[in-house]
Amino acid sequence: MVEHGEDLVRMTVGGVTLDPLTKTPIVVLKDEKDEVTLPIWIGLLEATSMATEIEGVKMARPMTHDLLKQIVEELGATVERIIVTDLRDNTFYASIDIAIAGRRHTLDSRPSDAISLALRSHCPIFVARAVIEASKANDAEAEEAREAQLEAEGTDPETAVTQDLSEVAPEEWGEILEKLDPSDFKYKM
């Protein structure tokens, strides 16, 4: 868990996309030099919230994150920054720093909610360097496990192609689902 004063990397939202394999939304954070990216798998509602803000779409009624921003402002507070603080057991953690009456309050948050609020509040987004390193390590471990599995199946990892699940016949889904393991999923929301 990050403590104030730890090494933080300032990042921005590079975009919201879909995981091509699982069709799960991903928010991609990138550093200011465009050298580091951090993908975070998020829920559909949070992705919609981010996308509408990024695209400047105004809804007829306030969405949850619009309401949260309005509550913060009505209480005389400001959102100073958000921080993606930790990555444990494939789950990202974040905090929201809010200032009110000259005091900083730090609130625990899901990264998706914190990022949605940051977009609306125009406050900086930070990621603890340890989170970036942990994510890289998880990526490397997942790739090694994938290659080992392919080799065990007699498939050359260099020529293996990831299956496009959008083209799977309905009768094949049972077999695919039976083979799934919780470790197949990269991150939890």
- pLDDT tens, position by position, 99-117: 999 999 999 999 999 999 9
Is the confidence at residue 146, as pLDDT, over 70?
no
* pLDDT band for position 132 (cuts 50, 70, 90): very high
Is the confidence at residue 32, as pLDDT, over 80?
yes
Closest CA to 41 of 11, 21, 74, 18: 18
Distance CA 166, CA 183 (A): 21
Enumerate domains of the chain plus CATH numbers.
1-189 (3.10.690.10)
The mean-pLDDT minimum among 11-20, 53-62, 148-157, 177-186 falls in: 177-186
Tell me, what's the pLDDT at 189?
Answer: 41
pTM over 0.85: no
Is the confidence at residue 187, as pLDDT, over 50?
no
* pLDDT band for position 137 (cuts 50, 70, 90): confident
